């Protein structure tokens, strides 16, 4: 039983086989998949699942606050079930792989008052970029 499934149940969210497959896939992953990757993998367990269901389900998980939506390449969104801890992201410029990382300092502390331009600033997230071990080796 996945922890994400348990968290979703607490919202009185109707559990269907399709939703369960998607939730368990997200929860077990240490990388963050795109909607299409999730569709592709879900099809291995449930060949008739539709694209609309995958998108609907992911959007509802985001609306419930149990999954975060990430966007780094301007193309496809990725989904991150780790909403509890505050963390940042490390992205490979070669293959797009995305993983969670933790920093030693809160980036909000680095933004002085006179750089806030009257905004009420509530959040800061860091995007680190580079090349993963596989892409470094591949040149």
Partner DNA sequence: TCTTTCATTAGACAGAGTCTAAGATAGGAT
Partner DNA sequence: ATCCTATCTTAGACTCTGTCTAATGAAAGA
Q: Which residues bind DNA (CB under 7 A)?
A: 13-19, 34-36, 46, 48-53, 55-57, 59, 74-77
**Pairing mode, if any, of strands 98-101 and 68-70?**
unpaired
Q: Which does residue 31 bind out of DNA, a second copy, none, counting CB within 5 to 8 angstroms by kind? A: none
Under DSSP, the state recorded for 114 is G
65 binds a second copy (CB under 8 A): no
139 binds a second copy (CB under 8 A): no
Output the smallest distance, CB 16 to a second copy, in A: 26
Q: What is the DSSP string of 5-67?
A: HHHHHTTTPPP-HHHHHHHHHHHH-SS--BHHHHHHHHHHH-TT--HHHHHHHHHHHHHTTSS
**Complex with DNA: residue 15 or 124, whichever CB lies closer:** 15
**Complex with DNA: residue 79 or 132, whichever CB lies closer:** 79
């Amino acid at each position: 039983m996945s922890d994400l499934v348990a968290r979703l149940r607490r919202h009185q969210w109707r559990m269907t086989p399709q939703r369960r497959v998607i939730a368990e896939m997200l929860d077990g992953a240490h990388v963050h998949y795109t909607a299409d990757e999730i569709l592709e993998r879900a099809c291995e367990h449930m060949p008739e699942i539709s694209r609309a269901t995958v998108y609907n389900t992911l959007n509802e998980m985001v609306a419930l606050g149990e999954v975060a939506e990430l966007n780094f390449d301007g193309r496809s969104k990725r989904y991150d079930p780790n909403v509890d801890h505050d963390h940042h992201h490390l992205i490979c410029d070669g293959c797009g792989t995305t993983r969670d990382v933790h920093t030693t300092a809160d980036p909000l502390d680095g933004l002085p008052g006179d750089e806030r331009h009257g905004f009420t600033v509530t959040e800061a997230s860091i995007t680190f970029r580079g090349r993963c071990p596989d892409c470094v080796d591949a040149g």
